[in-house]
Structure 1
Amino acid sequence: MRKVFLLLLLVACYTGVFAQLALKSEKGDFETRLIGRALFDGGVFFSDKTSLGNAAEVYDLRLGTVVRFLERWTGKIEVGFAKSKVSMKDIFIEYRDGKNLFRVGHFFEPYSLEYRIGSSDMKFNGAAVTGIAFGDRRKLGASYTYNVDLLNISAGVFSDKDVDNTEKGDEGYALSGRVLYRPYLNGEDVMHIGFSSRFSALGDAEESKVVYSAGAPSNLIPEKFLRADVTDAINEWRFGAEVVMVLDKWYVQSEYLLAHVNRRAAVENYNGDGWYAQVGYALLNGRYAYNKESGMAVAPGEKCLELLCRYNITNMNDKDAGIMGGKQNDLSVGGIYYFNKYVSAKMSYSLVSLDKHAQEGGKQTFSMIQGRIQLSF
């Protein structure tokens, strides 16, 4: 596996330095190009209670291809190789007809925002803890998206079982939807207000249990400080509200997520929630852009220094349900410098505060300094 890892890394570096490898048919009805990323992380952690060792690792390594064929068909195959494990990422085909987009395969559901952002586009070394806790992983399914200037509507049906879950039994299913309304459009300046929801009916593979867990805002810390094991579950609802603003050199993103689990009559239903708000400013050069199809902000151009701040509260405590999974507050500040379209560097500082119900060491406060060099093509 180590030899495969080194070979893939060399291929990624070669492609990123020289050019994107692309092939196109003579008639122009078929085109494919290589995509990939390599993220190198390091961090120093300061704690007076839980032992958090300093660390460095290759957080994410991916290779894949994007294919366009005929006039309206595209496909994507992307595989991850981080931490000596092979994992499926985006693997889908889609058909685009003007305002309409149909997609089938393995990809993120149209629910929430932060956890759906790719690792190379995340503003900090880790996603917002609320997004990790109450977002969702990629699933097998099908979706439809209708997209115009003022409105974006997405809906889909998915298996509620992860592809790497080998437990036997009937799989549950999930229904997801997301609506974005853009009340402000002025050239490249945009504001959208979004709402999303997700319903899942549990199958035998889930064993009537829903588990929520999350750690610190860092990929280098394996500890899960927050964890709620919700037993006797019948089904689950998740709701989200979001705001994104792109105003020249300013960028704002905020999101609230709520998870509700209906349980059998003998016990109380469970609720967990959280929210975050983050702001960015493009210094030196460039400005932010906006992707109307995904509803996500696009990073400023090369030779730009991006200054960032994020505050996040995640609460898995529900006294009525008898489940105290812990509560976490964290504040992060940092910056990203874009050397060119392929290479960037990140640095951030985070301060984390946990309540007495935290799963690792109880009530405590700790901090961290993290950095990342990333190659993306």
Structure 2
Amino acid sequence: MKLRHAIAAALICAFGTNAMAYDLLNDWPTKYKTDDGYEYGFKGLYQFDTNRFSGDTANPTNGKEILPDATAWRRKEFNFYGKTPWGLDFNIGYDFTVSGHRTATTGVHGQWIDNFVRYSSKDYGDFRLGQYKTPVGWEEASSSSATTFLERSLPVQATNMGRRIGVDWSYYGIPNWMLYAAYFSGGDLNGKNKGNGPAARVVWNPLNRQPGAGSREESEVIHLGIAASREDRDATTDGRGITTPAQARFRARPEANLLGTRLVDTGNLNNPGGIDRIGLEAAWIHGPLLVQGEYLTFSASPAGKPSYSGNGFYAQGSWVLTGESRPYSKGAIGNIRPVNDFGAVEVALRYSQVDLNDGPVFGGKEHDWTIGANWYLGQHLKFQANYIWANSTKRYGAPINGDAAVDPRVFELRAQVYF
């Protein structure tokens, strides 16, 4: 119990005393349920990060630093939700930190995140209308609170569409299967990403055994999935009457996201036609072991230019030293629920790569190695540390006028509160 008291004192200093009257590790009274089955509550995700760079941190053409150290809030997400006993629920979510790229020195503004209404039927599935995450790029589609590493892998960053406005349907009525279909239209609630198109995802669990608490039997889960989408982007006109043509762009940060710097970037591909994205997913949970990977490909057909395609993959593994298993539900992997007072400790390794070069497009290539450690304290606190060996090659302009390598090393820390 001394550890709990020490954590409580530290969090009171950091966040104040208004929510500290309860068990900090498990008992957070953020929801209320009426006698007739209606539920209302709040959800939150707060992440405070530091990124420290070494090695190559400068633009090779002019020597200007492009990867300065940064310490800032990564996310400050707050959601209000409600559920009825007859299947209807809603969520209103806002991130008070994120807008475009983040910096440690400039002010940023918030943005809308998950905002939807949904009706769930045991017989016909779940029907949802609003804004939410798109399915291609499983790592991105999963909760930001439950990532094994601080940031998503290179190919997932390059591929995923982010959140969009649309309608979707999820079905879990066939044992060991999950079916998903969606149509997105109108961009997002933040006035970006104008476009429309369909998306779909299928997940099969040939094995899904998750014993209850106290059981000596190990968890055993196999996840196999495929997701695909097609997007048609729209031209946009600003308040000055200036029209920007429809554009596609594929890029990725070096798995350190407090800054806006991308070491690989296709630039804008004007009038891209249909943008196709495909992802293949696989994971195996065996007791404290998690092995996970994805292969992703994306393509566009810019008007008057050769068609473009890029691809990438990642493979990662983690081991929970304290013996717990990562929970799995409805095609998503969650955070560990520790069984010990001192929490749960997990170590992890990831390799990721992305190739954005194709024909006349020299977006660059990058591959990263990452080692990580996670400490879970109860159901609401998580601390993470990553070290990244990033290696990128991209074509630069004058005075190089050719390919150059930028290979930074990154040390990252995160303190996370989620409920």
Note whether the superposition's TM-score is higher than 0.5: yes
Higher strand share: 1
**CA apart distance, 1:122:** 1.4
Classify the secondary structure of the residue corresponding to 2:336.
Answer: coil
Which residue does the alignment assign to 1:163? 189
Cα distance in 2 for partners of 1:345, 1:12 equals 22
Which residue does the alignment assign to 2:231? 200
Match of 2:299 among 253, 260, 277: 260
Cα distance in 1 for partners of 2:84, 2:356 equals 46
Classify the secondary structure of the residue corresponding to 1:114.
Answer: helix
Match of 1:289 among 320, 327, 330: 327
Classify the secondary structure of the residue corresponding to 1:133.
Answer: helix
1:176–1:12 distance in 2 versus 1, CA, 3 Å: farther
Classify the secondary structure of the residue corresponding to 1:363.
Answer: strand
**CA apart distance, 1:211:** 1.2
Are 1:244 and 1:297, in contact at CA under 8 Å, matched by a contact in 2? Answer: no
1:268–1:162 distance in 2 versus 1, CA, 3 Å: same
Which residue does the alignment assign to 1:364? 406
Which residue does the alignment assign to 1:269? 307
Which residue does the alignment assign to 1:72? 87
Write out aligned runs for 1:78-89 (5 A).
Answer: 78-82=93-97, 84-89=108-113
Cα distance in 1 for partners of 2:271, 2:73 equals 39
Classify the secondary structure of the residue corresponding to 2:140.
Answer: helix
Are 2:355 and 2:365, in contact at CA under 8 Å, matched by a contact in 1? Answer: yes
Classify the secondary structure of the residue corresponding to 2:175.
Answer: coil
Which residue does the alignment assign to 1:24? 33
**CA apart distance, 1:71:** 2.0
1:262–1:13 distance in 2 versus 1, CA, 3 Å: farther
**CA apart distance, 1:174:** 1.4
Cα distance in 2 for partners of 1:218, 1:48 equals 14
Are 1:160 and 1:200, in contact at CA under 8 Å, matched by a contact in 2? Answer: no
Aligned residues: 361
Cα distance in 2 for partners of 1:339, 1:207 equals 49
**CA apart distance, 1:250:** 0.7
Cα distance in 1 for partners of 2:197, 2:327 equals 32
Which residue does the alignment assign to 2:161? 136
**CA apart distance, 1:263:** 2.9
Output the amino acid matched with 2:355: N
Are 1:12 and 1:37, in contact at CA under 8 Å, matched by a contact in 2? Answer: no
Match of 1:246 among 285, 288, 305: 285
**CA apart distance, 1:53:** 1.8
Cα distance in 2 for partners of 1:210, 1:114 equals 21
Classify the secondary structure of the residue corresponding to 2:151.
Answer: coil
Classify the secondary structure of the residue corresponding to 1:191.
Answer: strand
Classify the secondary structure of the residue corresponding to 1:141.
Answer: strand
Cα RMSD for the two superposed structures: 2.4
Match of 2:345 among 296, 305, 316: 305
Write out aligned runs for 1:347-358 (5 A).
Answer: 347-357=385-395
**CA apart distance, 1:119:** 2.1
Larger Cα Rg: Structure 1 or Structure 2? 2
Match of 1:97 among 110, 117, 121: 121
2:10 matches 1:37: no
Classify the secondary structure of the residue corresponding to 2:295.
Answer: strand
**CA apart distance, 1:260:** 1.0
Identity %: 21
Q: Structure 2 stretches of 5 or more lacking a match?
A: 1-14, 59-64, 99-107, 211-218, 237-243
Are 1:230 and 1:270, in contact at CA under 8 Å, matched by a contact in 2? Answer: no
Output the amino acid matched with 2:354: T
Cα distance in 2 for partners of 1:65, 1:163 equals 17
1:358–1:176 distance in 2 versus 1, CA, 3 Å: farther
**CA apart distance, 1:49:** 4.7
**CA apart distance, 1:358:** 6.7
Classify the secondary structure of the residue corresponding to 2:394.
Answer: coil
**CA apart distance, 1:208:** 2.9
Write out aligned runs for 1:185-224 (5 A).
Answer: 185-187=208-210, 188-205=219-236, 207-224=245-262
Q: Give TM-score, length-normalised by structure 2.
A: 0.81
Which residue does the alignment assign to 2:271? 232
Q: Which runs of 4+ in 1 moved over 6 A?
A: 358-361
Are 1:110 and 1:178, in contact at CA under 8 Å, matched by a contact in 2? Answer: yes
Are 2:41 and 2:81, in contact at CA under 8 Å, matched by a contact in 1? Answer: yes
Are 1:324 and 1:357, in contact at CA under 8 Å, matched by a contact in 2? Answer: yes
Are 1:115 and 1:136, in contact at CA under 8 Å, matched by a contact in 2? Answer: no
Which residue does the alignment assign to 1:3? none
Which residue does the alignment assign to 2:354? 314
**CA apart distance, 1:166:** 6.2
Cα distance in 1 for partners of 2:288, 2:234 equals 47
1:243–1:166 distance in 2 versus 1, CA, 3 Å: closer
Output the amino acid matched with 2:305: V
**Cα offsets for 1:333-372 (capped at 9, x unmatched):** 0110112111111011100001133799941211111111
**CA apart distance, 1:233:** 1.6
Are 2:363 and 2:394, in contact at CA under 8 Å, matched by a contact in 1? Answer: no
Are 2:30 and 2:42, in contact at CA under 8 Å, matched by a contact in 1? Answer: yes
Cα distance in 1 for partners of 2:388, 2:226 equals 28
Cα distance in 2 for partners of 1:358, 1:181 equals 44
**CA apart distance, 1:87:** 0.8
Worse-matched range after superposition: 47-56 or 274-283: 47-56
Cα distance in 2 for partners of 1:109, 1:215 equals 19
Output the amino acid matched with 1:368: V
Cα distance in 2 for partners of 1:358, 1:132 equals 22
Which residue does the alignment assign to 1:5? none
**CA apart distance, 1:107:** 0.3
**Cα offsets for 1:163-210 (capped at 9, x unmatched):** 32369xxx5311000011122233441112111110112222372321
